[in-house]
Structure 1
Amino acid sequence: MLGGAVADVVVPVSLALKGEQYANELWRYKNVTGPQRHYFRTGLAAVLWRFLAAHEACVAHRCAVPGFDVVATVPSTGGREAHPLRTMVADMIGVTRKRHRDLLRATQKAGELGRTASSARYTSSPLWGEHVLLVDDTWTTGNHVQSAAAALKAAGAGSVAVVVLGRHLNIDYGDTSAHIEQARLRRFSWDVCPVRPWAHN
């Protein structure tokens, strides 16, 4: 259990609906090989870059901090050596490249924890009050990224904000379809701020 040691704000770039294009691309960027791998990774890196260039300051404002000193990613707990999200944030995206640090490590117990949130899932390098922007690709239950946020705070982070590329939703689950219909009415726009209730450039 994490208690109060969770992210100060969680901001998805977009919904990722099961069986639709965006969810498919979030799966493919990690799992395909050859030229397709570069295609999907480049596309998602461009999405994240444009989003952060437009809205990172708003996320920081929501956390009541002047900005994020460090950018980190959630590491794999499944044995993936070089996670493509880490490559995107550390090497491909201009607004995160210089601030990226490999802070988090999965513990030996991580594989046994399934999808549960646990302070035993990750450890973090020491921090001294730095504000951290934590990036993940997909939010399903949120347990992995919240476990990572808890590890950062235990290591001394100030504010921790989470940005996820896609909020995964299954339209056939519970009353999710009603939520999705409301979202479709609003439609996606780069200019609509996900944190502040107005559009801006």
Structure 2
Amino acid sequence: MVPISLALKREQYANELWRYKNAQGPQQQYFRMGLAAVLWRFLAAHEACISASCAVPHFDTVTTVPSTSGRSAHPLRDMAAEIVGPTRARYRDLLTAAPEAATLGRAVSPARYTSAGLWGDNILLIDDTWTTGNHAQSASAALKAAGAGCVAIVVLGRHLNVDYGDTASHVEQARLRRFSWDVCVLRRGAHG
């Protein structure tokens, strides 16, 4: 699992990750386009790092974690399938939420999703927010059960609550590092 950024509770990025699904009208489009730009820029710079870390030459297919809240069309799916250049041509709708998906709670469960059949394809699985990880991990398990080769997960935001445990000290350490699109968490430094 590779997070693009931390999404701290009650702060700007966490707010944007909520608004891209829940705002209305032009405001919703504004947040969707902003997050699509973040995903595009990140994948253009770091997808090769992710595939190298997974010891695969590339990801054959891109898919997203579907909603379990009853949302018929998920904006993340639209972003990956229609807007983001590095994912558009490889996007496939592979996963379907099971009817009981919303009742499965916080446990990882391969029964949360079903997947179309795969024959060794390496999959780049995209999710918007990682809080407990149960949805993305359940989706990954369903893809593996359907025959996927490698499954790598990229999330737009790793949701954190600084009031929980020792999270505040981890966040403080992260804030000491200067941000750059060229710095890769998997390579432990800048490209070049």
TM-score by length of structure 1 reads: 0.94
User: Is residue 83 from structure 1 mapped to residue 74 from structure 2 by the alignment?
Assistant: yes
Match of 1:52 in 2: 43
State the alpha-carbon separation in 2 of the partners of residues 111 and 85 from structure 1. 18
Instruction: Provide the aligned C-alpha RMSD in A.
Output: 0.7
Aligned length: 192
112-121 or 165-174, larger mean C-alpha shift:
112-121
Cα distance, 1:109 vs structure 2: 1.8
State the alpha-carbon separation in 2 of the partners of residues 137 and 114 from structure 1. 18
Residues 8-35 of structure 1: CA deviation (Å, up to 9, x unaligned): xx10001000111000000000000010
> Higher relative contact order at CA 8 Å, sep ≥6: structure 1 or structure 2?
1
State the alpha-carbon separation in 2 of the partners of residues 86 and 136 from structure 1. 9
Cα distance, 1:115 vs structure 2: 2.2
Match of 1:115 in 2: 106
Residues 113-167 of structure 1: CA deviation (Å, up to 9, x unaligned): 0222111100000000000000000000001100000000000000000000000
**Unaligned stretches of 5+ residues in structure 1:** 1-9
Cα distance, 1:108 vs structure 2: 1.4
State the alpha-carbon separation in 1 of the partners of residues 14 and 137 from structure 2. 21
Runs of 4+ in structure 1 over 6 Å off: none
Identity %: 72
User: Is residue 169 from structure 1 mapped to residue 155 from structure 2 by the alignment?
Assistant: no
Cα distance, 1:189 vs structure 2: 1.5
Match of 1:7 in 2: none
State the alpha-carbon separation in 2 of the partners of residues 119 and 38 from structure 1. 33
State the alpha-carbon separation in 1 of the partners of residues 102 and 31 from structure 2. 27
State the alpha-carbon separation in 1 of the partners of residues 179 and 101 from structure 2. 35
Match of 1:62 in 2: 53
Does the residue aligned with 2:66 lie in a helix, a strand or coil?
Answer: coil
Does the residue aligned with 1:137 lie in a helix, a strand or coil?
Answer: strand
